[in-house]
Structure 1
Amino acid sequence: MRIFADRLTEQLNKQLSRVYLIFGNEPLLLQESREAIQTVAKQQGFDERHRFAIDNSMDWNQVYDCTQALSLFSSRQIIELELPESGVNASIAKELLALSDHIHDDIMLIVVGTKLTKAQENAKWFKALSNQGHWVSCLTPDAQRLPQFVQARCRAIGLSPDAEATQMLAQWHEGNLFALTQSLEKLALQYPDGQLTLVRLEESLSRHNHFTPFHWIDALLAGKGNRAQRILRQLEAEGVEAVILLRSLQRELTLLLQMQQQLKQMPIGQVFDKYRIWQSKKSLYNAALTRVSHKQLHSLFALLTQAELYAKTQYEHSPWPLIHQLSVEFCLPSASIPYPA
């Protein structure tokens, strides 16, 4: 059964499962989920913990030996397996499937890995293990869900932010949830009444958000002009190389042009399949294809070429004003662009 990390404590308070599959891309949620499970398990007699980092040289017999222990003779045991970042290959999948037959009441299995793919969700090993416990989703909240995440965190430690404070906390800590946790702990100590306002935040905190070029690209595809400019200003202030942004944008413009051509011959679902667009990205590309015209894409390419010349050869000119112009024009509907005659 799948549960989200913020509901894990609620599940643990009801019943401790034999198996927990902890997967996601958010380090804070991964760490907190592991610690929460271990704490409750220790309270219920799981006093021993064996941790294995899986790689091609791993001796799986050590894992199977742990499953032979019975509480009559020894402590109940936690077996924690950390999957490689490269994912689960056929050999590892075979061992995990076999391990699913060795789980019993005196053994708890915790498997930790990065963000799951659809293929992994449908794999036999994953289904066999998840049927015996819970899959804990530890994905980083996106910009839309982050304010709700902030509110939940505030409630948990007795803070009551108003709407503006919630939005500001989300904006300042996007992509850096460890910093969000530290900021909330600081605010709880500083303001015992728990009331958070915009003025109090500005007096107490500095910005901790961490943006990457991928955040910028996603904002451009979605047509969120203000967000794209805010991200771009921070990337510029942090000294991100202009060429990195231009290369990233070039790939997206090329892809959009190719998909526009294919849309003349096939429906959009087939186009997404052909170019292997992830499910989570389909709405972004759909928004861009709906908003940006063929003519606009060529205009954006011309601006991008000029910015690249500035970045690579004409060092007396900064490419950043053109990158900001690109960011603005990409987010506007094509009818709003004053093209030259």
Structure 2
Amino acid sequence: MAKLRPEQLSQALSKQLAPIYLVSGDEPLLIQEACDAIRQAARSTGFSERELYHADNSFEWGQLLAAANSLSLFAEKKIIELRMPNGKPGDKGGKALIEYAQSPASDNLLLVVTDKLDGATQKSKWFKALDEAGIHVQVWPITPAQLPRWIGTRLQQAGLRADSSAIDLLASRIEGNLLAAAQEVEKLKLLAHDKVVSYELMASVVADSARYDVFGLADKALHGDARAAVKTLHGLKTEGTEPINILWALTRDIRSLVQISLAVSQGKHFDWAAKQAGVWDKRQPLVKAALQRLKPAQLQQLLRKANGIDKAVKGMRNAEPWDELLDLILNLAGVHSLHPNNDRLALKM
């Protein structure tokens, strides 16, 4: 399987369409855009139908092979899209993927979407089987140092020109949330005269962003200000903010806390660990305060809770995402709203 970066995908798709694509990583926007590009290229060559499957614990893997072998009533070619968030298909799933990869049908295109795959997973038999039959689009996080350049490229693609001070301002505002950056660029396309983005225009756009912002919510929770965090969450809900955007910011911070906590427990200095986790200097005091309040076991529980909310948002769990986000924020802020045993029970629902 050829390994491609997202920016290499468009050229590869223009040359030839592979029978299997595996898209993996932890950047929601880049994952979404890579999948959109693959679907668009497939549709342009006659793949007019799409079947979507979520590989959770209850997924029947026979459905994948049945979909591959069944004739479509509405189209000659179809996209079979498999969402496998944790990248762990298990024994049955691994066998099904291997069987599919051994003889992919020409009238099917398999698109597998997962979170970041670790080294052990990339040595598995199912991964190697896909490796021989298709293309792996590996999405890496954009580091703080890379972010200004990424924003500059995004502005250029939108037909805009901006000076470095304006780009740096936006980078400091969105702090790694590529989806937020993309939304601001779309806003600038409507506001920029002569396609030029000055520092003054960028400052006004940033100032006019949502009254209740996602990052302010995360900061309040890290600070332990539960009352303010809950108020901000209600404000975001009223303004129509999508739950997945809030979850993205909270999960990013929880993962950073887990990473830093582990490094510190191994004797690493906090400043070094925070830098390795991509935490901006001005947010390090917030993170340090949260780590003093939250124990490693609590952080792991928060991470499991966030995963459960992700499934609820995607319709894979029967739960209300906004209620679950409220509970996550309270616990992140230090208010233990649920006993761990009850929480584990809730995540099974």
* TM-score higher than 0.5: yes
2-side partners of 1:190 and 1:213: how far apart? 35
Secondary structure at the aligned position of 1:118 is classed as: coil
- Deviations 1:195-242 (Å, cap 9, x if unpaired)? 223222112214765572665859821686xx7541146x4xxxx893
Please say if residues 69 and 106 of structure 1, whose CA atoms lie closer than 8 Å, have aligned partners that are also in contact: no
> RMSD of the TM alignment (CA)?
3.2
Match for residue 114 of structure 1?
115
Correspondence 1:220 to 2:271: yes
Q: Which residue of 2 aligns with 1:152?
A: 153
Q: Aligned partners of 1:118, 1:49: CA distance in 2, in Å?
A: 30
Say whether the 8 Å CA contact 1:213–1:245 is kept in structure 2: no
Unaligned 5+ segments in structure 1 are 252-311, 313-341
C-alpha change, 1:102 and 1:55, in structure 2 (3 Å) is farther
* Structure number with bigger Rg: 1
For the 8 Å contact 1:82–1:113, the answer to whether it is kept is: yes
Over 3 Å counting, the alpha-carbon distance change for 1:156 and 1:29 in structure 2 is same
> Mind listing any 5+ residue stretches in structure 2 that lack a counterpart?
216-248, 264-269, 297-333, 335-349
Tell me which residue corresponds to 1:90: 91
Deviations 1:304-334 (A, max 9, x none): xxxxxxxx9xxxxxxxxxxxxxxxxxxxxxx
1:67 matched to 2:76? The reply is no
How is 1:270-285 mapped onto 2 (pairs within 5 angstroms)?
A: none
Q: Is the 8 A contact 1:70 1:76 kept in 2?
A: no
Alpha-carbon distance in structure 1 between the residues aligned to 2:113 and 2:145: 26
Q: Map 1:243-258 onto structure 2 (within 5 A).
A: 244-246=290-292
**SS of equivalent residue, structure 2 residue 113:** strand
Deviation of residue 90 (structure 1)? 2.6
Secondary structure at 2:130's aligned position in 1?
helix
User: Size of the alignment, in residue pairs?
Assistant: 244
Query: Is the partner of 1:131 in helix, strand or coil?
Result: helix
Q: 4+ runs of 1 displaced by more than 4 Å?
A: 69-74, 207-211, 213-219
The share of aligned pairs that are identical, in percent, is 33
Q: Give, in whole Å, the separation in 1 of the partners of 2:281 and 2:44.
A: 49
Alignment check: 8 A CA contact 1:19 1:133 kept: yes
Q: Does 1:172 align with 2:218?
A: no
CA distance in structure 1 between the partners assigned to 2:255 and 2:131 by the alignment: 32
Aligned partner of 1:231 in structure 2 is 283
In the TM superposition, residue 57 of structure 1 has moved relative to its aligned partner by 3.1
- Equivalent residues in 2 for 1:138-149, closer than 5 Å: 138-149=139-150
Deviation at 1:87, TM superposition (A): 2.6
With structure 2 as the length reference, what TM-score do the two structures score?
A: 0.62
CA displacement, residues 165-213 of structure 1 (integer Å, 9 cap, x when unaligned):
2222222112321111110011111014222232221122147655726
Q: Taking structure 1 as reference, are residues 212 and 199 closer, same or farther at Cα in structure 2, changes over 3 Å only?
A: same
> Given that residues 67 and 102 in structure 1 are in contact (C-alpha distance below 8 angstroms), is that contact kept between their aligned partners in structure 2?
no
CA spacing shift, 1:197–1:129, aligned 2, 3 Å: same
Q: Hey, what's the Cα distance between the residues in 2 that align with 1:162 and 1:99?
A: 50
Partner of 1:255: none
Q: Distance in 1 between matches of 2:103 and 2:18?
A: 15
Measured against aligned partners, the alpha-carbon deviations of 1:247-283 in whole angstroms (never above 9, x if no partner) come to: 57x97xxxxxxxxxxxxxxxxxxxxxxxxxxxxxxxx
Q: TM-score, normalised by structure 1?
A: 0.63
